Amino acid sequence: MARAALLERLRPGPRLVWRTATVREVVPESARARTLVLDVPGWSGHRAGQHVDIRLTAEDGYQAERSYSIASAPELDAVELTVELVEDGEVSPYLVEEVRPGDVFEVRGPVGGHFTWSAEEGGPLFLVAGGSGLVPLMAMLRHRAARASEAAAHVLVSARSPDDALYRAELDGLGPRAGLHVAWTFTRAAPDGWTGFARRVDAAMLEEAGPPRGAHPRCFVCGPTPFVEEVAGLLVAAGHDPAAIHTERFGPTGTRS
């Protein structure tokens, strides 16, 4: 998932350099998204929640840059990016529809520091995602699994339909299950026989899906700008400490495409 260049984002520092990434594998995630598994020589490692800049260079020298969240846990021996197709986008159509194993492009990173979590920090966590905003949160959950952490983590994912729900099968089986609570809401079309949430995220849903009152979780919210602003506002209204609410967002006027 790409994100807009907003105040929350930490800009690349002078020590970050462009590196050549080679596509090791391409994994379909949905009809509109797929994961690129990259080998990046010289990669320094990352923290769950960080992202990278991607630079594509055309034969005529024209360059386009976008930012995408890292989906993989830091423990993986590759860098995984899950990219969702953006209609009329400049970069995502190439990454989603054309890239094949063996292709190369440039990456720079990892970037970002405020929207990160490590197992050593413990919980509780409240992770709220809108659409492909799940990507950096999935890196946190995969990191939690890799470390066999039982840190309390409540997860709420909003998706338009089952076909748009990234990582749903993986989340259903992700461990350790102790302390992990995953809830989905579908805003346009729910699965057959679905008895869970089927509406936009609201205060009552956050109350039901989140940690118990008094738990004082660190909250991580990621998704489209209106979604993030609405959820962050609801969390503050519910009594969550604003300093414990971390947000990442993307929008049509940002760098996502």
Does a structural domain hold residue 234?
yes
Q: Are residues 96 and 170 in the same domain?
A: no
The 10s digit of each residue's pLDDT in 158-200 is 999 999 999 999 999 999 999 999 999 999 999 999 999 999 9
Does a structural domain hold residue 139?
yes
Q: Are residues 162 and 221 in the same domain?
A: yes
Where in the sequence is the domain holding 69, given as residue range(s)?
A: 18-111
Does residue 7 surpass a pLDDT of 90?
Answer: no
Does a structural domain hold residue 198?
yes
- What is the residue-wise DSSP string for 71-124? -S-TTSSSEEEEEE--TT-SSHHHHHHT--TT-EEEEEEEE-SSS---GGG---
Number of structural domains (the chain) is 2
Does a structural domain hold residue 142?
yes
The DSSP letter of residue 88 is: T
Tokens at 148, concatenated: 């066999």
Does a structural domain hold residue 107?
yes
Among 92, 111, 130, where does a domain finish? 111
Q: Are residues 22 and 88 in the same domain?
A: yes
Among 75, 92, 111, where does a domain finish? 111
Does a structural domain hold residue 189?
yes
Task: Quote the CA–CA distance of 85 and 68 in Å, as a whole number.
Answer: 12
Does a structural domain hold residue 235?
yes
Q: Are residues 160 and 240 in the same domain?
A: yes
CATH code for the domain of 52: 2.40.30.10
The answer to whether the predicted template modeling score (pTM) of the entire model surpasses 0.85 is yes
Tokens at 73, concatenated: 């846990």
Residue 148: per-residue pLDDT? 97
The 10s digit of each residue's pLDDT in 45-100 is 999 999 999 999 998 999 999 999 999 999 999 999 999 999 888 999 999 999 99
Does a structural domain hold residue 8?
no
Q: Are residues 203 and 219 in the same domain?
A: yes
